[in-house]
Structure 1
C-alpha cells in the first residue's frame, strides 16, 4: 500500500551529505535547532567515523547547549581520517527510553 506522501521506505531517513576535511586544519562545525526549538538538557550528538573497510576510527562528541551543538576537532585528530571513510552523526534525546537518530550520514572528502 502506498500513500501520496510515501517516501518509498520505512524508518527515519538521515540527510546524506559529505563531511569535508582539510589537511592541516581543524574540523569546526556548529548546528543550531531551527526556529524556536531548543535541544533538551541531556541531548548528546556525536560524529562516528569508520574507515573505508569498516574499521572504527573513533567518534567526535559535540558540546551541546540548548541552542547549539559545536565541534572543534584538532587537525592532529582529523588528518589521519582517510578519504572515503564513512561518518554518521547520531543525536540522542533524553526520552524514556532514550531515542537515537542518525541525523546525517555520508563519506569523508578531503581538500
Structure 2
C-alpha cells in the first residue's frame, strides 16, 4: 500500500542539520514562519540538548512571537555543551490535543 507523497517512512521527519557552537560565543538564532504564516498564541519552541547516550544537558527555550522564534543563549551556557552532543528542536502548538513536532535534529559541532 502506498500513500500520496509517500516519503518511505511513517511519521514526521525533522530536518537533519548540525548545530554549530563556537567557544566563547553565544548561540543566536531566529526562525520565522514561511509564506506569511504566523505562530499561534501559546506556541513554544525549544532546543533540547543531550549527550550521545541520551543524558540531559539542558533545554533552551525560544522567545516566541507571532512572527518569530528567537534564541540568545549566553556564551557561558553554550561553552558547557560538548562536541558530538545531540539536539532536537521541538515546536509545540496549542491544539487540542497539544501537538509537538521535532523540527530540526542533529549533532553539535564545535568551532
| CA deviation vs aligned residue, 1:39-87 (integer Å, no higher than 9, x gap) | 0000000000001222100100000000000000001000010101000
- What's the secondary structure of 1:10's corresponding residue? coil
Q: Which residue does the alignment assign to 1:90?
A: 90
Q: Where does structure 2 lack aligned partners over 5 or more consecutive residues?
A: none
User: Which 4+ stretches in 1 moved above 4 angstroms?
Assistant: none
Q: Where does structure 1 lack aligned partners over 5 or more consecutive residues?
A: none
How much does 1:2 deviate? 2.7
What is the TM-score of this pair, normalised by structure 2? 0.96
Matched, 1:71 2:71: yes
How much does 1:3 deviate? 4.5
- What's the secondary structure of 1:47's corresponding residue? strand
- What's the secondary structure of 1:54's corresponding residue? coil
Matched, 1:81 2:81: yes
Aligned alpha-carbon RMSD (Å) = 0.9
